Amino acid sequence: MSYIVGHPIKHPADFYGRHEQVTRFFEIIGGRQAQSVSVLGVRRAGKTSFLQYVAHPTTMARYLSQPDEYTMVYLDVSSCKTPSDFYYRLLQRLKVSLGKAETDFLWKESPLGQTKLYDIEAYLCHFPEKRIVLLLDEFDHLRTESFTQDFLTELRAMTGVLEYDLACVTASYWDLYTLGTRLGLPPTSPFYNIFYPTPIYMSALELTEATELIDTPAAKGGVRFNEDEVLNIRELAGSLPFFVQATAAKWFQRKRAGSVSDAEAIRQQLAADLAPYFDQWWRNFDCGERTILLTVAGERPLIELDYPPIELDAIMRRLHGYGLLFKADGAWFINGRIFQTWLRQYAQMEPAKPVAVTPYNGAELARIRHALVDSFDLDELRTLCFDLGMDFESLPGQSKPAKAREMVNYWRNRHDLSPLTDAIRLERGNII
């Protein structure tokens, strides 16, 4: 079988597309100083394959002027049960990649089961000439009771040591602010500051990239697809690599066997066969994302939805970033008829759980708004928005009162003002 369906891509020759993301990755980690970055994508979007690809020596040699000065260390965080386990596994990976450290001071590695941050720092201090890039896959598996906000604080501290050059690349579905919130980390924590402001999304492949992923493996297997077949596969699969390969492989098998491929039969079969992956996505989507996906899948206008424009735009940009929606001729579409079929036939069988709405009276909202207006200037509001993961420039209005009002509105529409109030208290004390 020429198509690799399921397993992460190990050899660069089998990795297709992602040129924009790969280029941006090396621009961020290859600058004058190490910078950390977040890689985001849904399950099966190719995050692991991406990390394996950028860490391969041939890829590094292509994008870095001095690749020998870099060491990429891959770690699957889902295998780590505790912070101590994380540090132990990381230390072993570092030893394999960097070798034995010749210590000139007394340092004895902590016993098994007690490895801590200091062990990592003490070891890395002996490699000041290297730029170490930690590739932390499945980073959102930190959502266990063993990992708390203290761990993220330690991770930030590890990147700030002057005696070595270290960057963290996290790969996850949850963005770092969402993950940090779930671990109890305040939205204004310095942890977020070490990361490049915008993440790298494992979004849909470009048209030419998806076509190459369909054509090239088939040709290696002795099968040639005509233009109509390639178009049918693209329309069915969309343009996330895993689903392109799964659909092309099905078509490939039938064509090599001499059977006529029926696009409608393949669509229905794969909508059922790939349901476990779509189910994973569905469980992670919030109520707004589910509603919008069902609306687009049903080819209904988005104006039917009662969402503030800022919130609607944020959700659409996020779903587009994940490669689940695309825009053409001014309208939004589901990326792939197979996923659209699943949404229409299966998703509605499991309705989204209702969101618990916290009632806020006018006096409470006014008190928070006045705190923002009276205690922050415009630049400080802009900084507060950045710390909260909000796009300050997208908020309606130009004046400070208008921006403050829309900040309160933004969190009220999410039925939870606590991120905003916590951030205000962190900056100004108990003023509300």
Are residues 422 and 312 both part of a single domain? no
C-alpha gyration radius of the chain: 24
pTM of the entire predicted model: 0.78
**Paired tokens of 198:** 């915008």
Tell me the mean pLDDT in the region 76-84.
Answer: 92
Phi (first) and psi of residue 37, to 5 degrees:
-150, 150
Residue 283 domain boundaries? 277-349
Are residues 30 and 123 both part of a single domain? yes
Q: pLDDT for 385-400, tens place per residue?
A: 878 877 787 777 778 9
For residue 103, what pLDDT is reported? 53
Are residues 185 and 235 both part of a single domain? no
Q: pLDDT for 126-151, tens place per residue?
A: 899 999 999 999 999 886 678 888 99
- Evaluate if residue 195 carries a pLDDT over 80: yes
Are residues 236 and 181 both part of a single domain? no
Q: pLDDT for 236-269, tens place per residue?
A: 999 999 999 999 999 999 888 888 778 999 999 9
Helix (H, G, I), strand (E, B) or coil at 74: strand
Are residues 116 and 138 both part of a single domain? yes
Whether residue 182 is contained in a domain is answered as yes
Whether residue 357 is contained in a domain is answered as no
Of 189, 198, 162, 180, the closest CA to residue 36 belongs to: 198
Are residues 171 and 97 both part of a single domain? yes
For residue 295, what pLDDT is reported? 94
Q: What value, to the nearest 5°, has the Cα angle with vertex 431 and ends 427 and 432?
A: 110
Ranked by mean pLDDT, the top range of 199-208, 298-307, 354-363 is: 199-208
Are residues 53 and 192 both part of a single domain? yes
Q: pLDDT for 267-286, tens place per residue?
A: 999 999 999 899 989 988 98
Q: pLDDT for 213-231, tens place per residue?
A: 999 999 999 999 999 999 9
DSSP 369: H
Are residues 24 and 67 both part of a single domain? yes
Distances (CA, A) of 14 to 10, 22, 53, 253: 8, 15, 10, 19
Beta strands in 173-232 (DSSP E): 200-201
Domain ends where: 170, 201, 232?
A: 201
Helix (H, G, I), strand (E, B) or coil at 363: helix
- Evaluate if residue 297 carries a pLDDT over 90: yes
User: Structural domain tally of the chain?
Assistant: 4
Tell me the mean pLDDT in the region 427-432.
Answer: 86
Q: pLDDT for 314-343, tens place per residue?
A: 999 999 999 999 999 989 999 999 999 999
Whether residue 133 is contained in a domain is answered as yes
Whether residue 10 is contained in a domain is answered as no
C-beta neighbour count of 147 within 10 angstroms: 20
Instruction: State the CATH number of the domain containing residue 92.
Output: 3.40.50.300
Q: How far apart are alpha carbons 116 and 88 in whole angstroms?
A: 8
Are residues 306 and 268 both part of a single domain? no
Domain ends where: 152, 184, 201?
A: 201
Domain ends where: 292, 325, 349?
A: 349
Whether residue 305 is contained in a domain is answered as yes
Tell me the mean pLDDT in the region 73-94.
Answer: 94
- Evaluate if residue 424 carries a pLDDT over 70: yes
Helix (H, G, I), strand (E, B) or coil at 94: helix
List residues bridging with 167 in a β-sheet.
133
Contact 126, 103 (CB under 8 A): yes
Are residues 81 and 132 both part of a single domain? yes
For residue 351, what pLDDT is reported? 47
Are residues 374 and 262 both part of a single domain? no
Q: Which residues of 383-406 are buried (b: 16+ CB within 10 A; e: fewer)?
A: ebbebbbbebeebeeeebeebbbb
